[in-house]
Amino acid sequence: MGQTAHHYLIFETAGGFCVIAWNNVGITRFQLPTKTAEAAERTLLRRLPGAERGAPTPEVAEAVAAVKRYFEGEETDFSGFKLDLGGQDPFFEQIYAAARRVGWGRTTTYGTLAKELGAGPEAARDVGQAMAKNPVALIIPCHRVLAAGGKVGGFSAPGGSAAKVRMLALEGIHLEPPAPAQQFFWVLSLAIRWRRAQRDGMR
């Protein structure tokens, strides 16, 4: 990102509190909803420690309005907003540009994006890494990029893979949410108890 001052704004959406940061070139950071404004600010300042609160530019204000519409379930296009992701790996820049072309209600996979860029299947891992490091989730719609076979895959934003599933559901794409670890262990414990009861009944 450019060596210019960063400003940020915290705002509330139907999904929670988001924060957006920008400089005089474009949007530099966007964070998906958290439960509190304090948590949103804390996360942003860990990544941009010198950033200061500021009044949004007209384009940033337009982006904020678009984010609010998105979390109200309205079809929204973020592909026209100017970004400043300076210092990115050139291949990552290509990946992000390709991901921005995946519109509302559509998905792709890590492997498909790699193929579109003329890379082999081994580059799917690079696509996954780029999505994990995406500094402007939603504006670069990494939630629309899935693992092989249409599986949810990872999601480094607040809420993890469950947040990815909810965002896709807003767009009319319904995937099976990943089973929480707690649910897995609860089911496992029930199965163990059932087998013990069966074994004890046969004695």
Structure tokens given for 164: 């990815």
d(CA 159, CA 164): 8
How many whole angstroms separate alpha carbon 42 and alpha carbon 25?
A: 24
Name residues whose C-beta falls within 8 Å of residue 69's C-beta, 6 or more positions apart in sequence: 76
Q: For the chain, report the end-to-end CA distance as a whole number of angstroms.
A: 70
DSSP assigned state of 83 = B
> Alpha helices of 34-117 — where are they, by DSSP H?
37-47, 58-71, 90-99, 110-116
The one catalytic residue among 18, 21, 44, 142? 142
Active site residue 142: yes
Cα within 13 Å of Cα(96), Cβ side: 23
Find where tokens 């296009």 sit: 77
178 in helix, strand or coil?
Answer: coil
Residues forming the active site = 142
